[in-house]
């Protein structure tokens, strides 16, 4: 099971502070702008934009913010200077970490990411060093009731894999099948927590408690960087480390 999934689950349970929510909205806006520049302003014709808008709605981002982000992406100006970049590195215990960034200054972003890795007992790697460990998957998280029944329904609806994480169900599918599966789940009036295309590790590395806590802190520091959109890892964490992380502020 992807450690990233457990990490994300606990972060949701801990909630989002007002300051972090503002940063989240900024990142969601940037993703919408990048999607518009890549494929146009029509959600019906632009798969990436549809996903970006849905993710913004899942995170309770106001519709006015979404519409402004679409306009910025279509009008150039601020959005036109953003560059999409991928960074790869290693965390404590040799785990793989993959970052997706949107930046208007690659040198600044690279320096900030390298510094975060260094301070977090990790290291920034060369291009291609860990990408091969990950593959894109459509991932839907559902606040589950009867997980067994829901798992069977999801598989019948086209899911490739289903995992129970705490009281939620994480459903994996092909990226191109994500929207159809989400609609099938919504028809059952299920509570969709998130639905997006993520880079999922093909295999995971279980860490000891010390390395796990170091890695969790490093992942948080990387995700807090303004230019970093998303962070993925193949680390897996023992329950004791997750409980300690959960209890932190």
The per-residue pLDDT for range 88-134, each reduced to its tens digit, is 999 999 999 999 999 989 999 999 999 999 999 999 999 999 999 99
17: pLDDT strictly greater than 60? no
Q: What band does 16 get if pLDDT is binned at 50, 70 and 90? A: low
Average pLDDT score, the chain: 88
Q: Which residues contact 63 (CB under 8 A, 6 or more apart)?
A: none
Of 36-50, 56-70, 151-165, the poorest mean pLDDT is in: 151-165
Q: Is the dihedral of CA 97, 169, 183, 73 positive or negative?
A: negative
Closest by alpha carbon to 99, among 12, 228, 219? 228
Q: How far is CA 43 from CA 47, 77, 152, 158, 177, in A?
A: 7, 21, 31, 23, 17
- DSSP 8-state symbol, 121: T
For residue 88, list its beta bridge partners. 98
């019906």: which residue's tokens? 44
CA–CA dist 198, 174 (Å, integer): 10
249: pLDDT strictly greater than 60? no
CA–CA dist 204, 223 (Å, integer): 20
């970490």: which residue's tokens? 97
Domains and their CATH numbers in the chain:
16-81 (1.10.10.200), 83-132+203-247 (3.30.70.980), 134-201 (3.30.70.980)
For residue 6 the two structure tokens come to: 């457990």
For residue 131 the two structure tokens come to: 């990408």
* pLDDT at site 1: 43
Contact between residue 87 and residue 101 where contact means Cβ atoms under 8 Å apart: yes
Contact between residue 104 and residue 34 where contact means Cβ atoms under 8 Å apart: no
Q: How far is CA 182 from CA 4, 97, 185, 240, in A?
A: 21, 28, 5, 33
Q: Record the pTM.
A: 0.88
Q: What is the mean pLDDT of residues 34-51?
A: 92
* pLDDT at site 214: 95
Instruction: State the burial class of residue 15 (Cβ atoms within 10 Å of its Cβ: 0-12, 13-18, 19+).
Output: exposed
């Amino acid at each position: 099971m992807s450690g990233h999934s457990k990490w994300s689950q606990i972060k949701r349970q801990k909630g989002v502070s007002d300051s972090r929510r503002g940063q989240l909205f900024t990142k969601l806006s940037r993703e919408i702008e990048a999607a518009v520049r890549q494929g146009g302003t029509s959600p019906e014709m632009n798969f990436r934009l549809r996903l970006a808008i849905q993710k913004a709605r899942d995170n309770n981002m106001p519709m006015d913010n979404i519409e402004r982000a679409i306009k910025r992406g279509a009008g150039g100006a601020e959005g036109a200077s953003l560059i999409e970049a991928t960074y790869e590195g290693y965390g404590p215990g040799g785990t793989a970490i993959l970052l997706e960034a949107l930046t208007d200054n690659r040198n600044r972003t690279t320096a900030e990411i390298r510094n975060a890795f260094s301070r977090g007992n990790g290291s920034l790697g060369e291009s291609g060093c860990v990408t091969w460990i990950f593959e894109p998957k459509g991932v839907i998280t559902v606040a589950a009731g009867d997980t067994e029944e829901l798992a069977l329904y999801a598989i019948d609806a086209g899911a490739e894999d289903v995992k129970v994480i705490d009281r939620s169900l994480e459903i994996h599918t092909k990226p191109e099948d994500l929207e159809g599966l989400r609609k099938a789940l919504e028809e059952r009036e299920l509570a969709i927590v998130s639905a997006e295309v993520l880079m999922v590790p093909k295999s995971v590395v279980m860490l000891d408690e010390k390395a796990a806590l170091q890695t969790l802190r490093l992942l948080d520091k990387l995700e807090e960087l303004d230019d970093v959109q998303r962070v993925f890892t193949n680390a897996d964490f023992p329950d004791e480390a997750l409980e300690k992380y959960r209890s932190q502020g």
